[in-house]
Structures are given as C-alpha cells and as structure tokens.
C-alpha cells in the first residue's frame, strides 16, 4: 500500500472502533466502503496489466570498454482495462552504468486492439570487459486512486558482450618504404596492350583488382590476369598470456586485472592499425598457437569480429615467452609487435635474437624496469612501457618515430 492507502486502512479501522464504542452504524458503513475501495484497488493491479514479452536491442551490438550503447526496450503489454501511468527500471549489472529508469506510459484498453507495445530507451556505459547480463525489467504501477502499488518483473535477461577498447593509434606511414604500409602489387605484362594479357578462370581468393573484364564478358565467366602478381606485406602480433606475468585474477575472469586489460587493448589496437595500413596480420600466442585466423589488409570487419571474440579471453597457466625466438628462426617479417606483462632483464636476453627477423620490432611491456627496457633497446627492440594510466597512442607514436629514425638512419 502507498501512504495514502495506509491512511485509508487506518481510517477504516478507526471507524469500526468508534462505531463499537458510540453505537454509530453509519461509521461501520463508511469503514466497509473504505475496505471495499482498498480491495478494488488491489484487484485492479492484478487484473488489468500483464507484460508478456520484453525484447532488447543494442546499438552498437558489441560495445567496447569505455564506450556507450543505446539500449532499446520493447515491452508487449496485454490489458483488459485502461491503466494509469507508472515507472520502469531495468536491472544493470556491475561493470556497466546507466540511468535505466523512467516513466512508464498509460496503456489503453486492449479488448479491441489486442496486445499493445511500449518502447523505452536508455544509454548504457561500459566499464569492464566480458559478458554481462542486463535485466529483467521491473514495472511499478499504481491504482487510479493511488492507494496501492505493484511491482512486477517482466521478461528475461539480455546478454551483452563488451569487447576490449580499440585505441586509434598513430600511422606508420613514415616506414612505408621499409616495411610496407599499403597493399602493394606489381604487374608484369607478357605482351604489348591489353589484348595480349593472358587470362585464367577466377578462383576463390583472387583479388577483384585482377579481374580481366573484357575476357570475362567474352567467356561469360569471371577471368583474371594470370601474369599480374600481388605481394601483400605481412605483420605479426604476439600476445603473452602467461599468468606468471599477470595476476591470478587475469586467469579467473575477464575484466578483473587492469594490467591484462591494458595489454589486450594494446593488442587489438595494434592489429587495427596494421590492418588499416594494409598489412596481413597474424596473431599468435607465445607458443605459436594462433589466437585468431590471419586478417587480410583493410579487413576492418574481421578486426571487429576478433575484438568481440576477445571479450572472454583470459590468461593461462603456461609461460612460453622463451619460445618466441623459435617462432621466427630463419624467417623475416615486416612489423613485429610483442605485447607482454611483467618482463625482466633475463627475459630480454631470451628475446634478443628476435629483432633481427623483423623490419620493425616493437615491444610493449605493461610492467618492465628501466633496465629491462634499456637492454631491449640495445638488442634492437623499440620498447616502451604501457599500462593503466599511460597514453597508449603516445607510447605507440614514440616507438614508431624511433623505428623510422632507425630505418632511415
């Protein structure tokens, strides 16, 4: 009951007490009338409104840490009689913040029109990475006299995936001459003029730029120039998930270790930058296990899919940082970005042979001493400390500038 309803009940009981003492039958009638009104108020709340379905949609579908999403809630309402307005509140879990409440509008009778729908929206801010659940929806309504109030829980919870934050990093355009930076292609023509080009049937994986439109129109099938050869620069990103370099919280659940979250954000941000510049990027664990399928240059949709999948990525027991040099033995690659947690001078000695296999070796360490960073620089790495509270773009720009100075000496 509301405060008004409680007052009405007290008045009815007082009428019965006074009527018994003074013998006034009229007060008994009045008390019975008040109780009847209270009973009707409660009955109206249980009879007139029932929320059947709740559907939620988010824009964007997968928000990133530190970002925001607009939540749209559609409530299907079935009611036999018109209802008074009320309030609504959506349950928001830890790891998210939102003012998920507001006024719920009145709904007219559904005897003729059937089910009706109510649409409400609110903005959701994401704080931590992982899989979260919002809901259920709570609707509070009062009877027309304001004597009673009822709160009901409507619908199920909705799953929300929060991806690691992707920071827009500075470009590596100054290193294009040494390490690529745009999708590069070379063309060799076997004869003079387009009529002498040799065409072959199109196969999956061929670039659309290689299509020979004249031959395709002549044969009524897609044909490509056989003698045109493309070379795509490659980059490699290695992410160290060994739990000895993080806290045990990083292995238990996503979003619990700030240092691991900073490193994962740096990982996806570096991949996004390299893909944007046209590199085909391989993402590996320190033991050589692919953490994601190779991403082609300029395939930003695949980067977003990878970030969404990494919403649940956690650390693991094994420490395989010492295996990294074996991943590049006897091979050369373009940019190589290694993201690690806590490293010491001994770890740097293990990694000393890696920079010679990369045109731009970058070491991003969340927790490293100045001695470790100096030794890494001396061995050929472009090393910098990252972590909570450090501007990732500024750190990235610093190692990129040093890499450019080294490349053009």
Q: What is the CATH number of the domain that holds 248?
A: 3.40.50
Tell me which H or E stretch contains 250.
helix 249-252
Domain residue limits at 32: 3-47
In a domain, 168, yes or no: no
- 137-146, 201-210, 233-242, range with the lowest pLDDT: 201-210
Give per-residue pLDDT as tens, 83-94.
778 899 999 999
Answer whether residue 167 is part of any domain: no
Its pTM stands at: 0.77
**CATH number where 95 lies:** 2.60.40.10
Residue 99 domain flag? yes
* Residues 274, 399 share a domain: yes
Same domain, 346 and 369: yes
Question: 78-82, 225-229, 287-291: which has the minimum mean pLDDT?
Answer: 225-229
- The answer to whether residue 176 scores a pLDDT higher than 90 is no
Q: What is the pLDDT of residue 190?
A: 36
Residue 44 contacts by C-beta under 8 Å, 6 or more apart in sequence?
Answer: 81, 143, 144
pLDDT band for 120, please (50, 70, 90 cuts): very high
Q: What is the mean pLDDT of residues 163-178?
A: 75
Mean pLDDT of 367-395: 92
The H or E element that residue 377 is part of is helix 370-378
- Residue 16 within any structural domain of the chain: yes
Do 202 and 289 have their domain in common?
A: no
251, 124: one domain: no
Q: How many independent structural domains does the chain possess?
A: 4
Same-domain check for residues 110 and 216: no
- Assess whether pLDDT exceeds 70 at residue 165: yes
pLDDT confidence of residue 71: 97
Q: What CA–CA distances, in Å, run from 216 to 189, 195, 226, 230? A: 18, 13, 13, 20
**39 within some domain:** yes
Same domain, 268 and 155: no
Rounded to an integer, the average pLDDT of 345-362 is: 92
**How high is the mean pLDDT of the chain?**
84
Model confidence over 196-234: pLDDT tens digits?
456 778 777 666 767 777 777 777 888 777 644 445 689
Residue pair 366/387 in contact (Cβ under 8 Å)? The answer is yes
Give the C-alpha separation, 110 to 77, whole Å: 9
Q: What is the pLDDT of residue 182?
A: 42
Does residue 198 lie in a domain region? Answer: yes
Residue 229: its pLDDT value, please? 44
What pLDDT is recorded for position 205?
66
Mark whether 210 and 142 lie in a shared domain.
no
Q: Verify that 264 and 398 share a domain, yes or no.
A: yes
Say which range, 60-69, 193-202, 302-311, 348-357, has the weakest mean pLDDT: 193-202
Among candidates 340, 312, 317, which has minimal Cα distance to 255? Answer: 312
Same domain membership, residue 123 and residue 19: no
In angstroms, the Cα distances linking 298 to 44, 179, 332 are 60, 16, 22
Say yes or no: 366 and 277 in one domain: yes
In a domain, 341, yes or no: yes
| 256-279: pLDDT as tens digits | 999 999 999 999 999 999 999 999
Is the domain of 273 the same as that of 283? yes
| Residue predicted with more confidence, 248 or 192 | 248
In a domain, 152, yes or no: yes
**pLDDT value for 76:** 84
Report the pLDDT value the prediction gives residue 161, as an integer from 0 to 100.
Answer: 96
Residues 209, 243, single domain; the answer is no
Q: What percent of the chain has pLDDT over 70?
A: 84
């Amino acid at each position: 009951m509301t405060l008004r309803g409680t007052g009405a009940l007290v008045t009815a009981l007082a009428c019965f007490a006074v009527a018994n003492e003074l013998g006034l039958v009229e007060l008994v009638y009045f008390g019975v009338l008040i109780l009847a009104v209270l009973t009707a108020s409660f009955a109206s709340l249980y009879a007139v409104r029932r929320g059947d379905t709740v559907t939620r949609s988010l824009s964007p579908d997968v928000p990133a840490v530190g970002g925001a999403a607009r939540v749209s809630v559609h409530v299907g309402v079935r009611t036999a009689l018109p209802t008074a307005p009320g309030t609504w509140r959506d349950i928001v879990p830890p790891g998210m913040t939102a003012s998920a409440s507001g006024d719920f509008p009145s709904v007219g009778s559904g005897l003729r029109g059937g089910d009706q729908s109510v649409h409400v929206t609110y903005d959701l801010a994401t704080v931590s990475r992982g899989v979260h659940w919002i809901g259920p929806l709570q609707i509070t309504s009062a009877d027309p006299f304001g004597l009673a109030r009822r709160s009901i829980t409507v619908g199920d919870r909705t799953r929300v995936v929060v991806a690691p934050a992707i920071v827009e990093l500075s470009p590596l355009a100054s290193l294009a001459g040494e390490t690529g930076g745009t999708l590069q292609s070379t063309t060799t023509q076997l004869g003079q003029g387009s009529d002498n080009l040799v065409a072959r049937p199109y196969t999956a994986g061929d670039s659309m730029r290689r299509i020979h439109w004249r031959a395709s129109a002549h044969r009524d099938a897609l044909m490509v120039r056989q003698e045109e050869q493309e070379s795509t620069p490659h980059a490699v990103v290695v992410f160290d998930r060994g739990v000895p370099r993080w806290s045990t919280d990083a292995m238990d659940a996503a979003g619990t270790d700030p240092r691991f979250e900073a490193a994962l954000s740096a990982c996806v941000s570096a991949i996004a930058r390299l893909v944007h510049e046209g590199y085909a990027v391989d993402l590996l664990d320190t033991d050589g296990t692919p953490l994601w399928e190779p991403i082609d240059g300029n395939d930003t949709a695949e980067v977003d899919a990878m970030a969404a999948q990494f919403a649940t990525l956690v650390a693991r027991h094994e420490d395989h940082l010492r295996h990294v040099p074996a991943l590049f033995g006897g091979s050369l690659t373009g940019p190589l970005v290694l993201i690690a947690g806590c490293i010491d001078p001994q770890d740097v000695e293990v990694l000393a042979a890696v920079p010679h296999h990369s045109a731009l070796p970058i070491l991003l360490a969340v927790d490293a001493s100045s001695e470790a960073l100096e030794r890494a620089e001396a061995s050929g790495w472009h090393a910098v400390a990252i972590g909570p509270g450090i501007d990732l773009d500024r750190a990235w720009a610093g190692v990129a500038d040093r890499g450019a100075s080294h490349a053009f000496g």
